[in-house]
A and B are shown apart, each in its own frame.
Chain A
Amino acid sequence: MSSKGLINLIPLAGKQLLRHRVRTLLTLLGIGAGIFLFTLVESMQGAVSAVTGAQASEATLVVFRENRYCPSTSRLPEYYAEEIAQIDGVREVIPIQITVNNCGASLDVVTFRGVPPELLHRYAPEIEVLEGSLSTWQKTDDGALVGKNLADRRGLKTGDSFAAAGVRVRINGIIESPNAQDNNVAYVHLPFLQQASQRGLGEVTQFNVRVEDPAMLDRVAEQIDDRFRSGESPTFTQPESAFFARAAQELIELTRFTRWIGLGAVIAVLGLVANAVLLVVRGRVRENAVLQTLGYPDRAIAWLVLLEGLILGLVGGLLGAGCAWLFLHFSHLSFGNEGQIMAITARLDLVLRGMGIALILGGVASLYPAWVSVRRPIVESLRS
């Protein structure tokens, strides 16, 4: 059978699926639900990778209070910045105050990052102001630059004011950044946040320390912690990626568990397609025998069955992955723990992966029914 012959059979397979519309629709809904779940789980995994992986190449250390995990309990004197800056290999020190409305695991975390206004462009150089103005923010004591995801999630726009975690701010701009964390926080002035969060001036949550050479990270971290070991607030310093990984440990474990949900969804789709196609084949034993009598080779019959599985997989995958994309795109979902935020974004590559998996599952699930459809002698099938 030629490749043209294989192509000629595609419309026939599609029409065969329409013979049992309700059954086909229910199968598509089942596949769609499985792939929806799979795409969501993959998106969660992607969010974890974005947070824990993307930072690894940076030459940045995070200085946190020793034995503290939540930003609300990490309190360091702001003057530590000057002492850290004197350590050999340190290029820059940025004091940061972080205030979150919820330190536990949550799907709606609002995080304020207080940074010296003149240092924002160094702390987060990738950010782009989508609306509003950076200079207005720099001049406004209670101003905030709000990440796009946070703004979309809460329906915020420039000129609005909003309150969370006991802090009320005026929005001077909406920002976007390739760093997913930045899209889920509100940047405010450090002194303002120190006062608004009732910590008082002179106290910060952490320091972000840029070193001159990534090879110096460990040595500089050790020197920082040694310097304050016997001080009023001992520190724990580690590379930014390790800091994120530690802070997000619970989230990582949670998302690792969700892999099983994704796997379960995949197996469910496999079973669903196999069952649907097997039912089709068993209901069409005589009809397939008629086609064989008309001269259809076994390959053509098997291909027709395989096509039906592939079409179910493709359409169901499109339905599930498409719905997952729309859901993530409009829900601006993010989840956070101990101040770390992971934005679950709608990524086209994950949607395509979901569709691809569904297509492959459709094909794999149809292999056995395809074999069943051609193994019986024609005469026996015509009699059935």
Chain B
Amino acid sequence: MKAEKNFPLVRCAGVAKRYRKGSLWVTPLESLDLEVPRGEFLALMGPSGSGKTTLLNLVSGIDSPSEGRIDIGDIAVHELSRRKLAAWRARHVGYIFQLYHLIPVLSAYENVELPLLPDGQSKRDRRERVEAALSLVGLADRMHHFPRELSGGQEQRVAIARALVADPELLVADEPTGDLDRESADSVLALLRNLAEEQQKTIIMVTHDPKAAAAADRLLHLEKGRLLEDQHVK
């Protein structure tokens, strides 16, 4: 992927998503145009069913649009096959879930190592990357702890390290602070803020929390699958 400054990393043009639910057609996203510059921290807000998560899933390549095109860098993601999408996600996208989704029988180190396993990297290379990712989220001293031995905030940091370990340009986060107390949430938001500023990661975050949204550079309001408001926060 080219690393040209000011050139948008994410470009969505006329993107729509429709699917059938029983006898009804549901349209969670309609004709959306969006550009996200490299290194921007973007927050998506809106009521439930407004299409925030659908947009996140489309941008991260785990779902495909019914209409329109999505370009991430110079890759036309909407044209990729399922197999190529998986390979693309492994290299270029880090996904952070609300409920962390760590594997309970694996240590923090092993959870962070997960995205690197199918790639066939050597154990040494993997160790370097995992240790770097855990250091970045401030959990180098907890790498051998299991999820049950960590607080919610620490678990989310491990999940962030897992999203970062392959060094992707794009991080997508689906309500990353939704299950955390205020203190842990602030700490996770500060970490995401730092990743955008210091590491030039492009971050798209879905949130219901105005305080979390305030940590972003830009805020988009969605409703009924349409973009209502595009607001620069900082």
Q: Report A's interface with B, CB cutoff 8 A.
A: 1-5, 8-9, 12, 15-16, 18-19, 286-287, 290-298, 300, 377-379, 382
Bound-state Cα–Cα, A287 to B103, Å: 8
Q: When the two chains form the complex, which single residue of A8, A18, A297 contacts B86, counting CB atoms closer than 8 Å?
A: A297
A-B residue pairs, 9 tightest by C-beta: A295-B90, A4-B120, A2-B120, A5-B120, A297-B86, A5-B118, A8-B117, A295-B89, A300-B118
Chain A residues, CB < 8 A from B114: 12, 291, 294
Bound-state Cα–Cα, A8 to B82, Å: 22
| Interchain nearest-CB distance for A119 vs B (Å) | 69
Q: Indicate if the CB atoms of B120 and A295 lie closer than 8 Å.
A: no
Q: Indicate if the CB atoms of A297 and B118 lie closer than 8 Å.
A: yes
1/0 per position for B103-121, CB-CB distance to A under 8 A? 1111000100011011111
Q: Report B's interface with A, CB cutoff 8 A.
A: 57, 60, 62-63, 82-83, 86-91, 93, 95, 97, 101, 103-106, 110, 114-115, 117-122, 162, 166
| Interchain nearest-CB distance for A316 vs B (Å) | 20
Taking CB as reference atom, which chain B residue is nearest A286? B101
Chain A residues, CB < 8 A from B90: 294-296
Bound-state Cα–Cα, A300 to B93, Å: 18
Chain A residues, CB < 8 A from B97: 290
A8, A292, A294, A298 — most chain B CB neighbours (10 Å): A294
Q: Indicate if the CB atoms of A5 and B86 lie closer than 8 Å.
A: no
Chain A residues, CB < 8 A from B117: 5, 8-9, 12, 300
Q: List 5 A-B contacts (CB under 8 A).
A: A9-B118, A16-B105, A295-B90, A378-B62, A379-B57
Q: Indicate if the CB atoms of B105 and A1 lie closer than 8 Å.
A: no
Q: Is the interface of A mostly helix, strand, loop or mixed?
A: helix
Q: Indicate if the CB atoms of B82 and A3 lie closer than 8 Å.
A: no
| Interchain nearest-CB distance for B213 vs A (Å) | 23
Chain B residues, CB < 8 A from A4: 120-122
Bound-state Cα–Cα, A199 to B76, Å: 98
Q: Indicate if the CB atoms of A298 and B118 lie closer than 8 Å.
A: no
Q: Indicate if the CB atoms of A3 and B120 lie closer than 8 Å.
A: yes
Bound-state Cα–Cα, A292 to B83, Å: 10
| Interchain nearest-CB distance for B102 vs A (Å) | 9
Taking CB as reference atom, which chain B residue is nearest A291? B114
Taking CB as reference atom, which chain A residue is nearest B123? A8
Chain A residues, CB < 8 A from B86: 292, 295-298
Q: Indicate if the CB atoms of B105 and A287 lie closer than 8 Å.
A: no
Q: Indicate if the CB atoms of B104 and A295 lie closer than 8 Å.
A: no
Bound-state Cα–Cα, A4 to B117, Å: 9
Bound-state Cα–Cα, A142 to B64, Å: 91
Taking CB as reference atom, which chain B residue is nearest A15? B105
Bound-state Cα–Cα, A300 to B115, Å: 11
Bound-state Cα–Cα, A8 to B130, Å: 15
Q: Indicate if the CB atoms of A295 and B87 lie closer than 8 Å.
A: yes
Bound-state Cα–Cα, A15 to B102, Å: 14
Bound-state Cα–Cα, A241 to B56, Å: 77
Known: A4-B122, A295-B93, A296-B118. 8 other contacts (CB 8 A): A1-B120, A8-B117, A8-B118, A19-B104, A287-B101, A293-B60, A295-B90, A297-B86
Q: Indicate if the CB atoms of B118 and A1 lie closer than 8 Å.
A: yes
Q: Indicate if the CB atoms of A294 and B120 lie closer than 8 Å.
A: no
Given known A-B contacts A8-B117, A9-B118, A12-B117, A293 and B103 have beta carbons under 8 A apart: no
Q: Indicate if the CB atoms of B105 and A295 lie closer than 8 Å.
A: no
| Interchain nearest-CB distance for B122 vs A (Å) | 8
Q: Indicate if the CB atoms of B101 and A15 lie closer than 8 Å.
A: no
Taking CB as reference atom, which chain A residue is nearest B17? A379
| Interchain nearest-CB distance for A245 vs B (Å) | 56
Chain B residues, CB < 8 A from A19: 104-105
Taking CB as reference atom, which chain A residue is nearest B91? A295
| Interchain nearest-CB distance for A88 vs B (Å) | 76
